[in-house]
Each structure stands twice: as structure tokens, then as C-alpha cells.
Structure 1
Amino acid sequence: MTYTVNCSILLTDLPVLERPAAAKAAGYDAVEFWWPFATAVPAQADVDAFVAAIQDAGVQLTGLNFFAGDMGGGDRGLVSWVGREDEFAANIAVVVEIGKRLGTKAFNALYGNRIEGVDPQAQDDLAVKNLAAAGRAVAELGGIVLLEPVSGMETYPLKTAADALAIIDRVKAEEGVDNVKLLADFYHLAVNGDDVAAVIAGHAAEFGHIQIADAPGRGEPGTGDLPLAQWIADAEAGGYTGVIGLEYKATQSDPFAWAAASTH
């Protein structure tokens, strides 16, 4: 098993550009990030600095989120956000540039919240178009777009694996794009009441990525009561061959102490 450290939720006592080196120092060779910039199209110098931080640390960027809006303010993506189509399209180009430069293959497109006064069907129709555009763009890198059920936001409509898979099926059927895959975040699925074991049994080989945190609390493995090790083993037995994203909130000074005895 190979872990990849989510440097947007872990190592947050350090500046963003110092986190890849800190992950490397802790013994990890792979990292992933939410969108690390404040805007969909950051200054080229900022992109260059981010790329250099990854390269200088000697780690692989295994995953990167598309711009998701103001996450701190409650935004959860632009994919279904009617009125911000041009912004999402512009962000795709930057994501592809970073992917090309760093060899990144997986790109998480947060779906976006329901917008008051906007027809949900219109949002879903736009999402299918945007996901297809993103999928076509990253296909030139041999990449995939990830679609993720998320907890904690009542207005975020994809709460179960089935919710996300229904949209993924639409993208394939209506747009002919087949490189949009489920991001199975075991924490989000469990907190939302999904049957994680059944999702794994039915879809493990189709997962584009797995992320983990324990529940309750979203802390590191062992701080809650989720059978994370068993779920990972079952997913791998079921055909999942990718990395495991560490996307939890550290509860100890050493955020990786729980894994000290394991191979990473």
C-alpha cells in the first residue's frame, strides 16, 4: 500500500510551499493538494513556485483539486455552479499545465452546492458538460477526473457513492467521456450513512481514488471506530490498485505516528 499525504489538511502549521518537503521528511514520497491558490487562474509566478516546491521536495503530486471557490466560506466546487462556467473552463487549462509539469494523473472536481433559485436539473446538466470538458482535457495526460461525495454541507447534493456514480454514468452516456471516476472517501461516505462495505464490494475496481479519515472527528486512523484497514484491504482485494490519500485532521503533534510501524 502506498499513502499520499494531503498537504491541504495536514501539516497546516507550515506554509503551503513547505509542506511537500515536510511530507518527504516524514517518510512519504507522494502528496496531494486541494487547489492551493486563491483564484481559478493564479499568477504564473505562483504556479511556478508551487511546481518548484513539489519538485524540490522530491515527491510525486498524485492528486490535485480543481478550483472549488471559497472553501473557507462554504463553497464546494464550480462544476455545477451556473454562472461560473467560464471560470471553471479557465481553471481547467491551469490544472492541465500543472499536471503536465508534474506528471499528475488524478484531478478532483468538487461538484458544488445547490444554489437557491437555480433549477437543480440545470445544475446537473451543466455539471455533466463541465465534467466532460475536464475529462477530455486531462485525457491528454492519461489522467482521470474524480467525483466525490462530501459530508458536512447539506447543500452539497452528492452524498453517497450512488449519487456520484449516477452523474458519472450520465457523463459517459451523454458525452462519451469515460475517464470520470468515483473518489471513494471512506470518511465522507461513512458519515453520510452510506454502506461503505457494499460500495467497496460493488465498485472497488472502478474507484479512481481512495481517501481516509476516521470517524467521528475526521482524525487519523485509530481515533474513531471506522474499520479503515479492513476497507482498504477489501478494496485492494476487489481490484483497487491506486494510492491511499491521507485526508484527516491531525490530533497529535506527529500526524503520522499511527503509521510509524507500517510501510509507506
Structure 2
Amino acid sequence: MPDFAVNLSMLFTELPLKQRFKAAAKAGFKKIEIQFPYELSIEEIRHELDEHQLELILINAPAGDWATGERGIACHPDRINEQQQGVAKAIRYATALNCQKINLLAGITPQNSEKAQVKSTFIRNLYSTAVACDAENIQLVSEAINTQDIPGFFLNTSDQAWQLFAEVGHANLKLQFDIYHMQIMQGNLIQTLQENIDRIGHIQFADVPGRHEPGTGEINFTNVFNAIDATSYAGSVSLEYIPLGSTLTGLSWLNQS
């Protein structure tokens, strides 16, 4: 089985974020990720990590106004300064908390914008962020997201991502491969993972449909996890799903694996 980490933004949500660290450790996890940790101070997070002997492995850069439906602004030509400020904040959190990976969300393509300008903006933001992260020994990743959950999201498939990353042209940029999104958009999970593992910087998962825990949908996670184990991938594989019931009840699949 892979080295599992847990996303505290989607699991243990029965509790306030600050209390989820303890719950994750009590459930047996050693590594965590948080989509947007910024509601807590660096000092608060450091205390929880140390108190419960946890490692923070990934955070997202700020992604605009999430509450109003924004899902990243890295492709928005008119918000480059805001994007750069958000990246600086993410790097400040990551370096202080020894977090090795930052995810930069492309965002939803802005209306009434030229496609070429949107693409070039995202490429420029990826490149500058890759350079800034590289200077701090942080891996930059960016993810493709399915068009059902987030219509209009700029990056939708692994092939599209890798073609765009080639235009960025920086070695410190890899794909955050979310099994849930990629099953919806393209399927063929095992072959894609096996043939492209060197271009993948982080892996997350949820079952399809529903985005719940393994065993609730169509994906054969035993085969997928075995396939990941057979590659050279040395990172963690993160639980990033919406528990169908309580978080602890939904972890029964893990205890049986």
C-alpha cells in the first residue's frame, strides 16, 4: 500500500480545523495536507504539527475568493499582482512549516477574455512560481480538474497539463494527479500513472461517482494502489474525498486494506 496522507480540508470536517490535527493523528496518520491553511497562523499550525507529530506535505496557494466560487486566479490576466502576493504567502507558510509542496490552481477561465492571453498568463504565473518555489526547495504542482464539478476550469486533463508544462519549461513543475478528476475526464488510470510517473509530483484520490471513499464507486483501488507501488513514485498518496458518513466510519476501507 502507498504512504497515505490525509487532507484536513475534506476529512474530519466534523471538527474545527485546529482540532483535526489531533483527530488525524489519533486515526493513525503521520502526514497531512491542507488546501488553504491560512485561517490559522503559522504558529498555530506549527504547534499542532509538533504536538501530534505530524508532517505537513502540501498546501494550496491562495485561490481568490473561494466562498463566491472562485477556484484559483493563476489564469486571470487582470489579477497577476494578487496572484504573486498569494504565492509569496504560500511560500512563507511552506518554508516556516517545512512543507515540501505547493499546489497552484489555474482557476476558471474568466469571461470575455482572450484565450491566448489567459493561457500566456497561466504560463507566466507557473514559471515565476516554479522559480520562486525552487529557490526554497519546494516542489510546485498544478492539477487538472474535471469539467463536471467545476465547469470552465482552465486545466482539465493530464495531457493538456503536460503540454502546457512543456511550454512553461521549468523542471520544478509537475502534475498533481487527482485520481477522482482524471477518472471522470479520461479514465485509463493505471497506464497513465505508470507511463508518466516521473511527471507526477503528488497523487490524491476519491472514488467515482460522488467523490467519496474507496468502495463507494467504480474504481478498483486495490489495483490502482498496487500499480502506484510498482512505480518509482516516492511521495504520499492523499485521501481527498468527502466521507459518505462520518470520517472515522469512512476509514474502514483503510483498515481492511
Question: TM-score per shorter chain, which class?
Answer: over 0.9
8 Å contact from structure 1 (residues 108, 146) kept in 2: yes
Map of 1:157 onto structure 2 = 154
Could you tell me which amino acid in structure 2 is paired with residue 125 of structure 1? S
What is the correspondence of 1:1-264 to structure 2 with a 5 Å cutoff? 1-37=2-38, 46-151=41-146, 152-172=149-169, 177-253=170-246, 254=248, 255-262=250-257
**Structure 1 stretch 146-155 or stretch 50-59: which is displaced more?**
50-59
Residue 120 of structure 2 aligns to a residue in which SS?
Answer: helix
8 Å contact from structure 2 (residues 75, 154) kept in 1: no
CA deviations 1:161-196 (Å, max 9, x no partner) are 011111211111xxxx21110111111001123432
Over the residues paired in the alignment, what is the CA RMSD in angstroms? 1.6
Instruction: Measure the CA separation in 2 of the matches of 1:65 and 1:29.
Output: 19
- Give me the identity figure in percent: 26
1:233 Cα deviation after fit? 1.9
8 Å contact from structure 1 (residues 205, 238) kept in 2: no
1:232 Cα deviation after fit? 2.4
**Structure 1 stretch 197-206 or stretch 160-169: which is displaced more?**
197-206
Instruction: Measure the CA separation in 2 of the matches of 1:211 and 1:200.
Output: 12
1:108 Cα deviation after fit? 0.7
TM-score (norm 2): 0.92
8 Å contact from structure 2 (residues 123, 164) kept in 1: yes
Instruction: Measure the CA separation in 1 of the matches of 2:216 and 2:20.
Output: 23
8 Å contact from structure 1 (residues 105, 141) kept in 2: no
1:261 Cα deviation after fit? 3.6
1:236 Cα deviation after fit? 2.9
Residue 38 of structure 2 aligns to a residue in which SS?
Answer: coil
Instruction: Measure the CA separation in 1 of the matches of 2:158 and 2:60.
Output: 19
Could you tell me which amino acid in structure 1 is paired with residue 189 of structure 2? V
Instruction: Measure the CA separation in 2 of the matches of 1:207 and 1:168.
Output: 12
Residue 83 of structure 1 aligns to a residue in which SS?
Answer: helix
**Structure 1 stretch 98-107 or stretch 252-261: which is displaced more?**
252-261
1:142 Cα deviation after fit? 1.9
1:221 Cα deviation after fit? 0.8
CA deviations 1:200-258 (Å, max 9, x no partner) are 13202321011010111111011111022212221332321110010011113223221
1:76 Cα deviation after fit? 1.3
1:72 Cα deviation after fit? 3.6
Q: How many residues align?
A: 252
Instruction: Measure the CA separation in 2 of the matches of 1:30 and 1:194.
Output: 28
**Structure 1 stretch 234-243 or stretch 19-28: which is displaced more?**
234-243
Residue 209 of structure 2 aligns to a residue in which SS?
Answer: coil
1:37 Cα deviation after fit? 3.0
CA deviations 1:15-50 (Å, max 9, x no partner) are 111111110111101000111336xxxxxx833323
Instruction: Measure the CA separation in 1 of the matches of 2:136 and 2:23.
Output: 27
Could you tell me which amino acid in structure 2 is paired with residue 153 of structure 1? I
1:138 Cα deviation after fit? 1.4
8 Å contact from structure 2 (residues 42, 97) kept in 1: no
8 Å contact from structure 1 (residues 51, 98) kept in 2: no
Q: Please list every run of 5 or more consecutive structure 1 residues that lacks an aligned counterpart in the other structure.
A: 39-44
